[in-house]
Structure 1
Amino acid sequence: MAKRSQTTELGCIACEELSQVGAGKEGWLVDDPNLLCALDTHALALANRSLILVLGWSDSDGHRIKIVPDLSPIEAEHITAIEWLVFDEIRVVVAGTSCGYLLIYSLGGHLIHKQLIYPGRILKIRVRGTKRDLTQDASSEEVCVVMPGVVARYDGSDIQSMLHRWFQETHTQFWDQKPKKRDLEAPETPYGRLPFQLWNVSKYGSCADAAITGTMPPPLMELQSSQRYYCAVTIGEDAVISAFRLSEDKSRSLVGAILSKVVPATFSTIASFSKLIWRSEQTSPRKSDVKPQPFARASPLTCLKDHPRKGEKLTLSPSGTLAAITDSLGRILLLDTQALVVVRLWKGYRDACCLFMEMLVNRDTTAPSSSYYEPVKSDYCLCLAIHAPRKGIIEIWQMRTGPRLRIIQCVKGAKILQPTYRFGSSMTSPYVPLEVFLLNGDSGQISVLNRTLN
């Protein structure tokens, strides 16, 4: 009875298609490093190196979709990251590859957008948004792409505009039955190139994970600057924690600026002169390879080196003010991303996974007597759910320095997940708290951790 009061079962994803991603073997969900998971409110996306499965568990959304991306066999390209993008009626799956490409797929399995970010392996795709309140001077919705030593940022409004153009065009094609011809060999899809910002954060070594925590004040000598500055926190093997101030300005020297103008012009002149001599008109022109975007300026702020400790995974709180970092020594560090100091430490949690959630800790004392009362944001307390697979438990700790509120037993081979951020959520709509889901790899059952304390 205690177990039922701590979790609520929602559905099951067990089906024959799961065998294509390794289901049926003991520990298939957690032992395979190439198996990736991304959760939406009513669907789960599973991906291995070359396949994406979308499985729904509710009665209204119990679909099954198989997506096979077109990857380069020459470079042994494979899927390395996966996430959902949810904009009201539009829900798509975005994947990152080992060659640095970002792929956006519809739930019908059609490729919507393909774009090269930077040559290299995409480690993580983070979707996050903050609303304007006392701690944030402006609302911000973004998609952050993490690579070894590289961080990219997409503005949520740019992605939303592109997806709306795609949605309107496909809706028009559905009624007119006149699909437009597309150039399948084009490096990027014709809905427009998505603008993004790119930073090099490899000063303290290659990073294993990173996150943009939010905006920050400009440097002391640039108080009048109109550019926005972001704070990025990275973790890795050389530096457990490092932080950078990210600027929108390109960090190009005077020599680099001159070369960027002179060299292309010189090369164009030589190429034109060679065409006049040899008249090579019979050969068809080849499309030039996509060149990486130049880096913007990233200024180091701080660095923590503690050999042989290595940073492994990073989890960011909804507001971005806290980050939970797991390391190779079985410790969990709670970092204040604004002061850039560690405010709490847990020991003895090897292979742990952390997710932030919200619970009604003082629900009975703060809520009115009416049984129809709907909890608001102020009723919830931020907590950290720590899944310790070697102990077979999930612990919930109150933030920042509160006690341990609950211990939940879980089976071996289970995994905790969290639904992705939903873009454009209104402040006037009923508040949806941050929840943590539990996926049982053996049975396929999906449960949600209850938000109230009995």
Structure 2
Amino acid sequence: MSCVLSNIGCFQDILTIKRFLFPDLKDEEKSETDGWEDVDWGWDQEEQNETKSDGKTESKNEEQHIWLQECCVSLSPTSDLMVIAFEEKAVFLQQKWDPQKDGIDYRYHIVYKGELNQDEGECVTSAMCVPLASQKRSSQGAPDWTCVVIGFTSGYIRMYTENGALLLSQLLHEDPVLKLKCRTYEVPRYPGIGEQQEELTILYPTALVTVDGFSLFQSLRACRHQLARAAASGSDVIQPPPLAYKKWGLVRQEAITDHVSCGVVTPCSFDQLNTECMTGGYTASIRATPPAAARYLTTGTGPYVGFYYALEGSSQPLISDVAIAMASKLKSALLNAASGWFGFAGQAQQTEHTTKQKPKVEPATSLPIRFGIPDLRRHGDSICVSPGQGLAVSTDSFGRVILIDVARGVAVRMWKGYRDAQCGWIQVPEDLHREMGEGKSRHRHRQYGPRMALYLVIYAPRRGILEVWNTQQGPRVAAFNVPKSARLLCLAIA
């Protein structure tokens, strides 16, 4: 088996992006003059400060080369749009066909750059490019346009077009956004496997927000139509519809840094009985049919990896939440009446006006952890699920890469010596022309399609190497020497 790194494009002007995102970081100086005008012939002073200058130049070179690893970078699955953001600034790049003599046909050109923060001190924490399908009958499967979803430290989720026009802004939680991930529709390969619907998941330090893909598509479509009408009429004011979402409060885990959504699963009868007995005791009531639940995996501390199961169906608000809401309304009514009696109506109106400016945030439904992989000293950094949602790979603070069986909830393999590693997945279909001579293989290809081989990609930035491994068993397949300042862009769409 042979592996080759193929080039899909390059940046048209990377220095412009670097200067915009990091204005304080100076470019590498290139001396092209003869040097007779500004030369100081202080030979003794140069020999004395030789060791100090070497250390300073090394630190400057490291800062100049690792600036990309400090940014939030997202690439569209179709490779037509890329977003690079740092703090409050962001740059949108679009892939265009621009062949030149170097043999690279596609280049990423800047289509938008600017500051996205609307409040003081607001910074970008996560970005993601989501392509939206076209509803035209003449479409050949290519996306109609790409939406850029960006999370901020204020808890806001804002969605933009490719040109940087704001479509929707909504506050879902009052904590900083940690991660944005999306799952698209996938046709089941084998009978008995349930269909996985589209879903956008937003991770906060203590909550997880899920947005249904169909409602998100309709909302973005309506916002885009309103934006086009406002631009045609010369106005910039649009009224975007609110997003329909579910918010789960993740409890019984000390800290959470990353998450993945593994889709909806239906347990067998034995697993249903086992789960009900472990959670509800011997007096637990058993349903006639196993309930379907959405499975989420988180990584962090206490435990190292957590497994959450959210039952399908809308949950009713708790009595305590209703009582708190009624008490707050009664308190506000009494304060307004008292302010009118004692002549403080103006101050009450001002305070009411300030409170109205802050949007209302819905409370989260408590979702306790079902089980996890405990490790007291290990701190999870990131987690990535495989395309079939059967395996997940996690990185930690000890420089380990751990392969996890999602269905069984156990770790099946570990790689050591990969500090600050970045992981991804590759699916390779089998060669159909090699096996077309056999009758059984032809029948199987018509029924289930070609078989898929799954490989794990590990990028070690400190070693400057990119490795491809067999997942559960087997040796390393390939290794490539890459720069230490690179980024491995694993698509956030599982």
Flag the 1:237–1:332 CA change in 2: closer, same or farther, 3 A: same
Q: Which residue of 1 aligns with 2:103?
A: none
**Partner Cα separation in structure 2 for residue 393 and residue 69 of structure 1:** 35
> What's the offset of the Cα at 1:122?
1.0
CA distance 1:277–1:101, change in 2 (3 Å):
same
Of 231, 236, 239, 1:190 maps to 239
1:69 corresponding residue in structure 2 = 116
1:52 aligns with 2:90: yes
Is contact 1:148-1:206 (8 Å) kept? yes
Following superposition of structure 1 onto structure 2, how do residues 412-431 of structure 1 map, counting pairs within 5 Å?
412-421=484-493
How far does residue 30 in structure 1 lie from its aligned partner after superposition? 4.2
Partner of 1:138: 195
- 2:383 matched residue in structure 1: 314
- Map residues 18-417 of structure 1 onto 2, 5 A cutoff: 18-19=17-18, 20-22=20-22, 24=27, 26=62, 28=64, 30=66, 34-40=70-76, 41-59=79-97, 62-64=108-110, 65-73=112-120, 76-88=121-133, 89-133=144-188, 134=191, 136-173=193-230, 177-180=232-235, 182=237, 190-217=239-266, 220=276, 221=285, 223=287, 229-247=293-311, 249-250=314-315, 253-268=318-333, 270-272=335-337, 274-275=339-340, 278=343, 280=345, 285-286=353-354, 287-360=356-429, 365-366=434-435, 378-417=450-489
CA contact (8 A) 1:29 1:35 kept: no
The separation in 2 between residues aligned to 1:362 and 1:214, in whole angstroms, is 29
How far apart are residue 368 of structure 1 and its match? 6.9
In the alignment, the residues of structure 2 paired with residue 85 and residue 12 of structure 1 have an alpha-carbon distance, to the nearest angstrom, of 21
Question: Quick one: distance in 2 between partners of 1:342 and 1:135?
Answer: 25
**Partner secondary structure for residue 408 of structure 2:** coil
Distance 1:368 1:383 in 2: 27
| Matched AA of 1:7 | L
Deviation at 1:166, TM superposition (A): 2.0
Q: CA deviation at 1:263?
A: 3.7
SS at match of 1:165: helix
Following superposition, the deviation at residue 150 of structure 1 comes to: 1.8
| Bigger-Rg structure (1/2) | 2
Distance 2:155 2:118 in 1: 12
Task: Rate the CA distance shift 1:279–1:300 in 2: closer, same or farther, 3 A.
Answer: closer
CA contact (8 A) 2:183 2:261 kept: no
Structure number with the higher strand fraction is 1
| Aligned residues of 2:227 and 2:236 also touching (Cα < 8 A) | no
The aligned counterpart of 2:16 is: 17
- Between the aligned partners of 1:345 and 1:362, the Cα distance in structure 2 is 30
Tell me the CA shift for residue 216 of structure 1: 3.1
Deviations 1:315-350, CA, capped at 9 Å, x for gaps: 111232211001111111111222211122212211
Indicate if the aligned counterparts of 1:130 and 1:319 stay in contact, CA closer than 8 A.
no
CA, structure 1 residues 294+223, in 2 after alignment: closer, same or farther (shift >3 Å)? farther
Q: Distance in 1 between matches of 2:175 and 2:291?
A: 28
Check whether the contact 1:149–1:201 (CA below 8 A) recurs between aligned residues: yes
State the partner residue of 2:41: none
Q: Any gaps of 5 or more consecutive residues in structure 1?
A: 183-188, 422-433, 435-454
Deviation, 1:304, is 2.3
The 3 A distance-change label for structure 1 pair 235 and 170 is same
CA contact 2:125–2:151 (8 Å) conserved in 1: yes
Q: What is the deviation of 1:212?
A: 2.1
Q: Secondary structure at the match of 2:434?
A: helix
In 1: Cα distance, 2:169 partner to 2:212 partner: 16
Instruction: Deviation per CA, 1:101-143: give whole Å up to 9, x if none.
Output: 1111112222111111211121110011242424642331111
1:415 partner letter: R
The question of whether the paired residues in 2 share the 8 Å contact of 1:240 and 1:311 is answered with yes
Q: Which residue identity is paired with 2:379? A: K
Q: CA deviation at 1:387?
A: 0.9
| C-alpha deviation, 1:145, in angstroms | 0.8
CA contact (8 A) 1:34 1:80 kept: no
Q: What letter corresponds to residue 168 of structure 1 in structure 2?
A: H
CA distance in 1, matches of 2:88, 2:298: 28
Matches of 2:424 and 2:229, distance apart in 1: 41
Contact 1:246-1:297 within 8 A present in 2 as well:
no
Alignment CA distance shift 1:420-1:199 (3 Å): closer
Q: Aligned equivalents of 1:387 and 1:135: distance in 2?
A: 35
Tell me the amino acid that sits aligned with residue 398 of structure 2: L
Give the TM-score normalised by the residue count of structure 2.
0.73
Aligned to 2:4: 6
Q: Equivalent pairs: percent with the same residue?
A: 20
**CA 108–58 in structure 1, closer or farther in 2 if over 3 Å, else same:** closer
Partner secondary structure for residue 140 of structure 1: coil
Q: Does the Cα contact within 8 Å between 1:357 and 1:382 map onto a contact in 2? A: yes
| Aligned-residue offset at 1:392 | 2.1
d(CA) in 2 for partners of 1:77 and 1:227?
41
**Cα distance in 2, alignment partners of residues 368 and 107 from structure 1:** 47
Query: 1:227 & 1:266 partners in 2: Cα distance?
Result: 41
CA distance in 2 between counterparts of 1:244 and 1:340 reads: 11
Q: 1:33 to 1:8 in 2, by over 3 A?
A: closer
SS in 2 for 1:330: coil
Deviates more, 1:240-249 or 1:47-56: 240-249
Per chain length, whose mean CA-contact separation is higher, i.e. which structure has more relative contact order (CA < 8 Å, sep 6+)? 1
C-alpha deviation, 1:165, in angstroms: 0.9
CA contact (8 A) 2:178 2:203 kept: yes
Deviations 1:264-318 (A, max 9, x none): 2453354256447648379564424223211123132112222321111111112
Q: Is the 8 A contact 2:251 2:367 kept in 1?
A: no
Per-residue CA distance 1:2-33 (angstroms, 9 max, x = gap):
99x61112221141422223485656564566
